[in-house]
Amino acid sequence: MKRLFFFLFLLLATAVNTAFAAEVTSPNGEVKVVFNLDNTTPTYMVSYRGKAVVKPSRLGYELANAENLLDGFKLAGQETGAFDETWKPVWGESSSIRNHYNELLVHLVQEKTDRHMDIRFRVYDEGMGLRYEFPQEGKLNYFTVKEERTEFAMTGDHTAWWIPGDYDTQEYEYTRSRLSEIRGLLQKAITDNLSQTSFSTTGVQTSLMLKTDDGLYLNLHEAALVDYPAMHLDLDDKSMTFRSWLTPDAQGMKGWLQTPCQSPWRTVMVTDDARKVLASNLILNLNEPCKLADTSWIHPTKYVGVWWEMISGKGDWAYTSQFPSVKLGLTDYAKAQPSGRHSANNANVRRYIDFAADNGFDQVLVEGWNIGWEDWAGNMKEKVFDFLTPYPDFDIKALNNYAHARGVKLMMHHETSSSVMNYEKYMDRAYQLMKDYGYDAVKSGYVGNIIPRGEHHYSQLEINHYLHAVKRAADYHIMVNAHEAVRPTGLCRTYPNLIGNESARGTEYQAFGGTRPGHTAILPFTRLQGGPMDYTPGIFEMDCANGSHCNSTICGQLALYVTMYSPLQMAADFPENYMKHADAFQFIKDVAVDWDKSVYLEAEPQEYITAARKAKGTDNWFVGSVAGMKGRTSAIALDFLDKGRKYEATIYMDGADADYKSRPQSYKIVKRTVTAKTKLKLRAAAGGGYAISIMAK
């Protein structure tokens, strides 16, 4: 680990500078950020290889019940510095990550009010981050944000891959369009969700992927979202300027801040190579180092689960269909007539435990183990679950004992139904129950509207809740995989027990009517920028009991274990479906979930991604490639392999007649010896892909 740090401090105390400019460039000199105090208003602009990427854009805040922090500023000083450090993540796409940037910190003071606002820029070779910092000095102590007014002035009518701005969900399909077309396409892009709140006819979410007509790839996002509402982007489609749009609380306020504090980082990535977006660690690097003293208990996990049965319509979370309404403590489950459709029953869970043990999986997720599922969603019910009481046919003690005897663990499930206050009331008991029975990972869920009512999934109070759940879990040595929580912003660096998130449209939508091919070729450019996604791939039987069809080939599913980086990977389908294709299932059994090194071989948003990763602590590599609507013929070189070494490759590829609609189960498996000199030409069908295991001989 090398580390270099120096600062230049220039105090300009006497001269009142209401016009002032300073600049900072990336280590390689290609990205430049210029800060300007333009007639007392702070602005910045970003260029790449001398060409504007973000035109002059204003910075500041509109406050509630106080003078705004938009103008009237003078320079009180500036600092510049450089930083170069290599750090080792607890888990990740590579075993070490370089954090290398140049920095500019501008100290501003609003003359009339003596309030201080600093702006810090960090410039990397692949982009930049800026954040506001409010020191505990001057007249600013507590303040309430009406709106953050950060602009991102685009240089043209770029192509964007976007989902609708929403205070409560990210579970949308992506639309590719010109910026100028967003307004016309937005309504159509808003598909149903149990909790959703859109706010503008040109509002979109981060991370937002863009491409300019001259071939630059841009990405706008945020990093280190802590004690602050999540940021959306609202487009002024006359000037092609995005403006920050924070998530309000129940009273419409957008942040309750107390100095000293800072905003999350606002990030702009820029490169001429789409693969560099995928390889970037910008978001992780802008987060704080790990705050957990002991991380030995955190481990990447491959798992199966009692889940797809319910999602695909074969079984239920609920134990009975007798109760139109359930009140915990009042409803008597002992007297209930079982529906016969309850998937989380002792016999079925044992079946999954056996399957996991027989095939090398670490854990078995069991959803629907606890009472309350007969009546859990859609009513903003406060006391919806207790996270403590199993259904009569789920013997928590015996099943955990059985799992442990077979060398696997059960994975806990805490669906909160978004009744956050209820979850917090039970959290300590729920985590303690996990420890009592030997669980060390929880999948949590936030389906439906938030309680406290009027708050949103991405309001500050909820942001604080999600992090509280992760930090408190760490006290119990529990890993967290939160679904429907806020989109991640790299906090897994600081709290690596945040092992996963959903926060996007996952595989479940393949059972809710399907997702268009290409979705998994855009997610790594957007959603995955902030951290891993529990995408739950591995569907082999594309036709669901409920009639929905999964728009993918089997090889398209296999590829996801490599292309969708996550330390938490599920094999989501039923054991019996895997057994029908045991040869293809072998890849899921073999593939690693933690890596020493990752190489992106090919990438274009929504079109294709091909990645190669070296399994941690081994000399084995795994390659995955997914294709969108057009399919893709890859020509890849295996030059990432050790020179002069021989490897045994097993190639899982779409059959010649494979088709995500009509012949999704057509695949071919080829074994051959490969070296660093090998070049491969492989065809992925539309909605398909390929996967390769490359074992060192």
* Catalytic residue positions, numbered: 508
Report phi then psi at 431, rounded to 5. -65, -40
With respect to its own copies, which residue has the nearer C-beta, 56 or 135?
135
Q: Name which position in 425, 661, 663, 683 contacts its own copies (CB under 8 A).
A: 425
Among 136, 187, 633, 673, binds its own copies (CB under 8 A): 136
> Cis before residue 417, ω within 30 degrees of 0?
no
Which is it for strands 241-246 and 61-63: parallel, antiparallel or unpaired? Answer: unpaired
Q: Write the single-letter amino acid at 331.
A: T
- The rounded distance, in Å, linking the Cα atoms of 420 and 457 is 10
Single residue of 28, 39, 86, 141 touching its own copies by CB under 8 A:
141
Q: How far is the CB of 162 from its own copies (least distance, A)?
A: 30
CB-CB contact of 455 with 463 (8 Å): no
Min separation Cβ 325 and its own copies, Å: 5
| Residue 414: closest CA among 317, 315, 510 | 317
**By CB under 8 A, which span of 57-65, 463-471, 534-542, 669-677 interacts with its own copies?**
463-471
Between 261 and 629, CB nearer to its own copies: 261
Q: Is 142 in the site for its own copies (CB under 8 A)?
A: yes
Residue selected from 1, 324, 335, 643 as contacting its own copies according to rule CB under 8 A: 324
Q: Residues 213, 288, 428, 576: which binds its own copies (CB under 8 A)?
A: 428
Bond preceding residue 260 cis, omega within 30 of 0: yes
- Asked whether the beta carbons of 222 and 231 are under 8 A apart, the reply is yes
Q: Of 158-166, 253-261, 487-495, 536-544, which part binds its own copies (CB under 8 A)?
A: 253-261
Q: How many residues bind its own copies (CB under 8 A)?
A: 35
Please identify, using beta-carbon distances, which residue of 429 and 646 lies nearer to its own copies. Answer: 429
Candidates 248-256, 435-443, 528-536, 592-600; binding stretch for its own copies (CB under 8 A): 248-256
Cβ pair 292, 474 in contact under 8 A: yes
SS3 18: coil
Quote the CA–CA distance of 433 and 435 in Å, as a whole number: 5
CB 560 to its own copies: min, Å: 36
String of b and e for 402-437 (b: at least 16 CB within 10 Å)? bbeeeebbbbbbbbbbbbbbbbeebbeebbebbeeb
Cβ 229 to its own copies, closest distance in Å? 13
Question: What whole-number distance in Å separates Cα of residue 613 and Cα of residue 598?
Answer: 4
Number of Cβ within 10 Å of residue 340's Cβ equals 11
Decide the pairing of beta strands 409-415 and 363-366: parallel
Which residue stretches of 393-544 are H helix?
396-405, 420-437, 460-475, 519-522
Instruction: CB nearer to its own copies: give 327 or 646.
Output: 327
Q: How far is the CB of 461 from its own copies (least distance, A)?
A: 6
Beta carbon of residue 143, minimum distance to its own copies (angstroms, whole number): 10
Per rule CB under 8 A, is residue 249 in the interface with its own copies?
yes
Q: Provide, rounded to whole angstroms, the least separation between the CB of residue 109 and its own copies.
A: 18
The tokens describing 134, both together, are 């409010």
Question: Of residues 455, 484, 596, 607, which one binds its own copies by CB under 8 A?
Answer: 455
Which is nearer to its own copies, 23 or 386 (by Cβ)? 386
* Residue placing its CB nearer to its own copies in the complex, 77 or 452: 452
For position 330 contacting its own copies by CB under 8 A, the verdict is yes
Per the structure block, which two tokens stand in for 537? 């791939």
Beta carbon of residue 382, minimum distance to its own copies (angstroms, whole number): 7
Between the two ends of the chain, the Cα-to-Cα distance in Å is: 31
* Contact by Cβ (8 Å): 214, 270: no
- Three-state DSSP at 54 gives strand
Q: Which of 64, 97, 461, 676 binds its own copies (CB under 8 A)?
A: 461
Cβ proximity to its own copies, 249 vs 573, nearer residue: 249
Options 1-9, 228-236, 250-258, 586-594: segment touching its own copies (CB under 8 A): 250-258
- What are the residues whose beta carbons fall under 8 Å from the beta carbon of 142, sequence distance 6 or more? 256, 257, 258, 259
Residues between 365 and 424 that touch its own copies (CB under 8 A): 379-382, 421, 424
Tokens of 504: 């996007």
Is 436 a binder of its own copies (CB under 8 A)?
no
| Whether the Cβ atoms of residue 457 and residue 446 lie closer than 8 Å to each other | yes
Minimal distance, residue 438 CB to its own copies, in Å = 21
- Choice between 325 and 618, CB closer to its own copies: 325
- Residue entry with tokens 């201080």: 116
**Is residue 429 at the binding interface for its own copies, with CB under 8 A as the rule?**
yes
Q: HSE-up of 607 (CA within 13 Å, CB side)? A: 9
Q: Is residue 139 at the binding interface for its own copies, with CB under 8 A as the rule?
A: no
Site membership for its own copies, residue 67 (CB under 8 A): no
- Of 83, 87, 199, 256, the one binding its own copies (CB under 8 A) is 256
Q: Is 251 in the site for its own copies (CB under 8 A)?
A: yes
List, in sequence order, the alpha helices (H) in 438-459. none
Q: Which of 29, 184, 215, 454 binds its own copies (CB under 8 A)?
A: 454
How many other C-beta atoms can be found within 10 angstroms of the C-beta atom of residue 556?
A: 32
Residue in the block written with tokens 């990977």: 569
Of positions 451, 482, 636, 649, contacts its own copies by CB under 8 A:
451
Asked if 427 touches its own copies (CB under 8 A), the answer is yes
Looking at 138, 313, 452, 575, which residue binds its own copies (CB under 8 A)?
A: 452
- Residue 464 as a binder of its own copies (CB under 8 A): the answer is yes
Q: How many CA atoms lie less than 13 Å away from 644 in the CB half-sphere?
A: 0
Interior/surface letters 366-398, b for 16+ CB within 10 angstroms, e for the rest: bbbbbbbbbbbbeeebebbbbbebbbbbbbbee
Q: Is 616 in the site for its own copies (CB under 8 A)?
A: no
Nearer to its own copies among residue 53 and residue 467 (C-beta): 467
Question: Looking at 183, 350, 472, 661, which residue binds its own copies (CB under 8 A)?
Answer: 472
Q: How far apart are CA 355 and CA 333, in angstroms?
A: 30
* 29 contacts its own copies (rule: CB under 8 A): no
| 250 or 637: CB nearest its own copies | 250
The span of 332-340, 459-467, 485-493, 563-571 binding its own copies (CB under 8 A) equals 459-467
Q: Would you say 460 or 552 has its CB closer to its own copies?
A: 460
Interface with its own copies by CB under 8 A: which range of 17-25, 26-34, 78-86, 324-332?
324-332
Neighbouring-strand partners of residue 403: none
Minimum Å distance from CB 378 to its own copies? 9
Three-class secondary structure of residue 459 per DSSP: coil
Cα–Cα distance, 542 to 401 (Å, whole number): 34
Identify which of residues 349 and 384 has a Cβ nearer to its own copies in the complex: 384
Tokens of residue 169, six digits: 């969900």
316 binds its own copies (CB under 8 A): no
Question: Which of these segments, 8-16, 65-73, 321-329, 355-363, binds its own copies (CB under 8 A)?
Answer: 321-329
> Which C-beta is closer to its own copies: that of 462 or that of 534?
462
Tell me the β-bridge partners of 410: 364
Tally the residues of the chain: 697
Find out whether 52 and 155 touch, Cβ atoms under 8 Å: yes
- Give me the residues that bind its own copies (CB under 8 A), please: 136, 141-142, 249-251, 253, 256, 258-260, 324-325, 327, 330, 379-382, 421, 424-425, 427-429, 451-455, 461, 464-465, 468, 472
